[in-house]
Amino acid sequence: MRPTRRRTRLLLAASAAAAALAVPLGVHAARGADSGTEVAPPKPEPAGSECRTTVEGSRVVAYCHNPYPSVDLVRLHTECDRWWDVDADGEVVAVEPGRTVRLEDRCWKDVATAWVSHRPAPL
């Protein structure tokens, strides 16, 4: 056998062995295991209304404006100062995109705290 054929066979065998070893490494890298970066979850679209709440004596008024393209469901919660005065949770009101709603409630005497809760409307 001539040295050229043996060298050719050795080169072919070496290249086949290198290819066999390189394929699993390429597949492993293609899956992102060695890239060191994880796929970040998509960021949620901004949503929710901006609400201003004012308390005057025994009355509570809240204005909620929704600048985002999704519907926001808002509810006014009122906690009265006196122990015998009933605390209240208002009805859920849908705030459409680009709209402003007025929420109001009252206590018999004084208001301790008032706040507005938000949740996205079901699709």
Q: Tell me if residue 37 falls in helix, strand or coil.
A: coil
Which tens digit of pLDDT belongs to each residue from 13-67?
A: 666 666 666 555 555 555 555 455 677 888 877 788 999 999 999 999 999 999 9
Query: In the numeric block, which tokens belong to residue 110?
Result: 């004084």
Q: Tell me: the pLDDT tens digits for 58-100?
A: 999 999 999 999 999 999 999 999 989 889 999 999 999 999 9
Distance CA 12, CA 7 (A): 9
**Torsions phi, psi of 116, nearest 5?**
-115, 130
Helices (H), 31-119: none
CB 91 within 8 A of CB 76: no
Residue 46 confidence (pLDDT)? 79
Phi, psi of 7 (to 5 degrees): -65, -40
Q: What does the block give as tokens for 111? A: 């208001």
pLDDT attached to residue 25 = 53
Question: pTM of this prediction?
Answer: 0.63
pLDDT value of position 114: 96
pLDDT at 54: 96
Output 121 or 45, whichever has higher pLDDT: 121
Please check whether residue 114 is in contact with residue 106, taking contact to mean a CB–CB distance below 8 angstroms.
Answer: no
